Structure 1
């Protein structure tokens, strides 16, 4: 039979003092409440002896603070999200917070279920890469004065703090780099999406193409059919004979594309100009190293904390919100240089 958890009352009963006194000592308020050093030490020694551990859920209900944050991304295995999450974890720990990580798979049902669960657990705040249809769920958190910072994308008509990069300019500059290196028939592979980050990446590509009187060649793959990306890219290449460069809007699309190129015709990896939004470790070690747009992961993590910390320390979260837009960097490697 499982032993009953040791409670704060067990400590109080054994020492024949009040539960309130024990609570003050264990929460570091002994000096403030004028509890003697000898009694304070007696409580601490006994708590250590019996291996007392506070009930964090009960404590959070009592104090209103759990010291836990939720970091919800699209896919925690994605190199960009995992790097940002890892850096943020260290920043949060320095401020006394623990972080729970989860993936919503860009699925509204899963997003809502996870948010509802963690809200029930009384976590102190959320960092969310939102799926397309959870605007009202985010709005409800804000209305309830729960700190929220959106990452990577945002809702244009929702007043919420966010940290993003300038996707349109990054995509424009990357496409312009390909054009300046004599690529004139450039394909753009992306997902079908109304989310801000994907719309902006597409618009940046289209603007650069239009500004130079070139023809746009766009493949949009449904997000829930990414597993068919190789077949989609194959059909796209067959229907667009003469493409001399491909710009992938995400690194996971690029991984599918590079795999297809290698299986179909290994010379495509050297003959085509290739550009990717978001770096990946494998891009550096490919036989032809892959050019990419890289996002400032440390700065993103720092800005999230800068926005979130004041919200965590205030009773109201309805003050003026901020949308922080950061610059990206274009990493030039072999794949995008003139052939």
Structure 2
């Protein structure tokens, strides 16, 4: 018995009841179908005794639901996305769903291949951090009635559910914090990208600088260099050739490159730079000095994503729901942005 796959038919034959009755009980519909509590418990006890495992493929073909969601991000090893993935996994599991995690590396070809693969596998829904050129594919998913939520960024001219951070406000507030603490020559180090969240962060910095009638100092690093470790050379050259008193890193991977550059070249001691990072990290609390960071609300992001996804999964037409959820980040003030003393 232990070595054989136990089917619903086997359970039905053993208990001398219909396959339909067994199916209703195992799918939690006993009360709805007016099946007695005694018979329900009898089925459940025997299913447990014979270690019954549902055939997921057959179940998905029968119900049209796989109970699987896709969580596609830019880079699953990135601290921000990895933390989100862990929280999403727990919330989804509590709701009866499993999650497939994958990275698109901000590459359109890979994004399209992965979406096509999972669509053919009949996953129930998609949470996607979109690469720049997949708007048409996302639109196609929606037209085909697949639940889709965009995370971190969206397409301005596409009606699609999304959960994002108010990047512009977060960056404006963080830059204003540096200015209030007597930093006036603040470098903003970002990627050379047209992505919405990158542009909004840059705009927040520019607005804060303009409001305070200061001069902007902007370094844009090619995306590929920012991701493959070549950013350090550009950061070192910029920081050692400009008259600066603070630096604001626009992403957590640029922050990492910056910190490595500081340590390898003793820039902190030589230049006494203030610093802020967009994206918090547990290590920032123990770094010396501790690092001020724009902290994205991980729990709120994940709960918003799953609440919205569960709503979409219940809809006969996913177009009936259209929400753009914008959440606020929090500035975690630490030693790296302490008031500058002349």
Is 2:242 aligned against 1:241?
yes
Q: Which residue of 2 aligns with 1:327?
A: 328
SS at match of 1:123: coil
Q: Which residue of 1 aligns with 2:314?
A: 313
Shift of residue 272 of structure 1?
Answer: 0.3
Contact 1:174 1:275 in 2 (8 A): yes
Distance in 1 separating the partners of 2:333 and 2:200: 21
Report 1:68-87 matches (<5 A).
68-87=68-87
Q: Which residue of 2 aligns with 1:142?
A: 142
Normalising by structure 1, what TM-score? 0.90
Contact 2:261 2:267 in 1 (8 A): no
Shift of residue 158 of structure 1?
Answer: 0.9
Residues 1:175 and 1:33: Cα distance change in structure 2 (over 3 Å): closer
SS at match of 1:69: strand
Distance in 1 separating the partners of 2:77 and 2:286: 20
Q: Which residue of 2 aligns with 1:55?
A: 55
Between 63-72 and 279-288, the greater mean CA deviation after superposition: 63-72
Q: Which residue of 1 aligns with 2:67?
A: 67
Shift of residue 7 of structure 1?
Answer: 3.6
Distance in 1 separating the partners of 2:156 and 2:134: 13
Distance in 2 separating the partners of 1:121 and 1:269: 56
Contact 1:262 1:268 in 2 (8 A): no
Between 86-95 and 25-34, the greater mean CA deviation after superposition: 25-34
Contact 1:290 1:334 in 2 (8 A): yes
Q: Which residue of 2 aligns with 1:164?
A: 164
Contact 2:245 2:271 in 1 (8 A): no
Distance in 1 separating the partners of 2:255 and 2:31: 59
Residues 1:310 and 1:211: Cα distance change in structure 2 (over 3 Å): same
Report 1:139-288 matches (<5 A).
139-226=139-226, 227-238=229-240, 240-268=241-269, 271-288=272-289
Residues 1:258 and 1:66: Cα distance change in structure 2 (over 3 Å): same
Cα deviations across residues 276-295 of structure 1 (Å, max 9, x unaligned)? 11111121111111111111
Shift of residue 156 of structure 1?
Answer: 0.8
SS at match of 1:210: helix
Contact 1:258 1:269 in 2 (8 A): no
Shift of residue 321 of structure 1?
Answer: 0.9
Task: Give aligned pairs, total.
Answer: 336
Contact 1:261 1:269 in 2 (8 A): no
Shift of residue 307 of structure 1?
Answer: 1.8
Shift of residue 312 of structure 1?
Answer: 1.0
Distance in 1 separating the partners of 2:25 and 2:208: 64
Residues 1:212 and 1:67: Cα distance change in structure 2 (over 3 Å): same
Distance in 2 separating the partners of 1:38 and 1:276: 60
Shift of residue 173 of structure 1?
Answer: 1.4
Contact 1:270 1:335 in 2 (8 A): no
Distance in 1 separating the partners of 2:333 and 2:315: 44
Residues 1:33 and 1:169: Cα distance change in structure 2 (over 3 Å): closer
Distance in 2 separating the partners of 1:304 and 1:37: 36
Distance in 1 separating the partners of 2:4 and 2:223: 48
Gap regions ≥5 residues in structure 2: none
Q: Which residue of 2 aligns with 1:107?
A: 107
Distance in 1 separating the partners of 2:136 and 2:143: 10
Q: Which residue of 1 aligns with 2:121?
A: 121
- CA RMSD for the aligned pairs? 2.3
Contact 1:270 1:288 in 2 (8 A): no
SS at match of 1:293: strand
Shift of residue 331 of structure 1?
Answer: 1.5
